[in-house]
Amino acid sequence: MKSDIHPDYHPVVFQDAITGTAFLTRSTMTSARTIEWKDGNTYPLVVVEVSADSHPFWTGTRRVLDSAGQVEKFRRRYG
């Protein structure tokens, strides 16, 4: 294998922008922001818009669209 072609794979903390929930994982992403984690170490912080804690599908707040109304609208327009 070729050496020095892979990006740096290191621990990173991802934080949900809406709920504030954070989790530590490994990633190639980098950030100028840092956070002190529960273990006392400092890690890069990446703030994400949506995670499993705030995504409507996973939280059970998914909205059902009026698909019958959309079908009728389509049929009137192109029927």
| Tally of domains within the chain | 1
> Block means of pLDDT (10 residues each) for the chain, length 79 residues?
86 92 94 95 93 70 65 83
Which pLDDT score, from 0 to 100, does residue 3 have? Answer: 83
Query: Is the pTM above the cut of 0.75?
Result: no
Domain assignment of residue 5, yes or no: no
User: In the chain, how many H helices and how many E strands?
Assistant: 2, 4
Which pLDDT score, from 0 to 100, does residue 27 have? Answer: 96
**Distance of alpha carbon 75 from alpha carbon 79, whole angstroms:** 4
Which pLDDT score, from 0 to 100, does residue 31 have? Answer: 93
Q: Which amino acid is located at 26 in the chain? A: R
Domain assignment of residue 20, yes or no: yes
Domain assignment of residue 3, yes or no: no
Range of the domain at 43: 10-78
